[in-house]
Structure 1
């Protein structure tokens, strides 16, 4: 996850101060880019509240029993960062530790007697905590860049298009091979010919002018993905496994590859052991449903609570990763 000074300050502002808290420390992993540049930008941008960035270069905070002494070393070693701040002008201070690697300890806290030169509550005894900024900051799902909604939309659109393309290829050889799937998808409504149904599927995807804004529903009868989502919504994990098997047969999938499912798909795996192909397509159906629900949450964010930035980002990244692999998996069926 790429971070800059603007996003860091924005996330800091999303973490409420605790009662009677005057000093807090957040660590941020900067895996790409210059920590020096980010530190300089933080100095110039943090006008709403007192934020002091520190580039952590020393080996500190690797032992939970040495937290207090390490924090004192951190303050003394970076005294120049605090000397330029007018003493007792501020009531609260946020320290940002910029790291190249992940912090060695989980969230930690400790009482401390602040140095007499410290700009906030100099010489006073207080309490401080060090925590992961991206776990502490919670954001809404609506228009949240960490959710990667546009990437999900493109991946989901490609998934639907690739499945339809493969079904069309199978239908050109023997339409009976996909008829069982179609009859299952349309079990509650009248169906037309296989040719007509595939034509409708293709027209629906071709009508999408901007894949980044693609958002499926579970009620559109001319959309293959909508019909599949409807099956997911009304099926138990075991019932969905039967649907996945039928889908793999309609795709004439003979692959030996095993797709790595999303975490969410693991939670909804069938109770009985299924063959590899069924497991792959079960994971694909669950991932499509997961992306569909995340898009719904993004579009109606006011109905949902906020969540940590890192959780939203990790979930989206894992889902995009799987959908990308699933699309490659389906495309390989054409090569076979």
Structure 2
């Protein structure tokens, strides 16, 4: 028995029924057998009671974020909805300069969902949380009737601590700052599209889903002037850059020849008429650093697996506020606007 928990119950059902959401013995069997057994939360109260020495440091601040995940399919090359949920919430904290500590996890499960699938998702979440150094400390489970959900949806909230003196925000970007990305663009969106099987596409692409907290800490150590970072999820790198340009009241110019794209992603986008700059990423961020710290930041990123492909893709300028442009391979320029609508639904 760990952390004062009772031994996990045995769940004999192979599929979830409405009874598993009724608040009685069936629900307790599901929660304890699948989720509590995997996450080992500290106690079984209605809330997590948390302490950390990091909170006692003068000037430290709490960071809090929440997100929901509805990807289709729920298991895909390179991950599943559980890994996506942990990485997405860890990254939302990390790109703001916080050190992630705790997560909550809430599940909306469709009647008929396979219990074996839930066990795989829970195991993936625990493994990714361990890699990121965070704990899943509380959660919730609901069951809805068949057809009211797509097997399982996951909502995660995260709490982290921002160390004293650390201030990362898009409004800090200055003219001349260099835009860096830690790896290739569009892998997650392209991998999900291929995994759906609707277009008979054959590819070995995998999602780039990864936790980036370690990458941020290493980059800050090498380039303490790091202005801001954004994980390029829905809307892709283009939308993230537009948000930064608007918040900083600067313009940003990209170099098309510097953009890291796999040939498979470029080919898929050409066939389907998609723009890879708007494809979702789940392990890729864009960061702005002062020009004199760019080389050190790139070296720090490239020293880690999740930053091995780091490159500089552009810079901030004192041009038209909020405008993102790209210098094309042919020497022209085009506007890179915010995504209107959505290229692919249920992507993360």
Name the TM-score, length of structure 1 as normaliser.
0.22
Q: Which has the higher strand share?
A: 2
Q: Which has the higher helix share?
A: 1
Which one has the largest radius of gyration?
Answer: 1
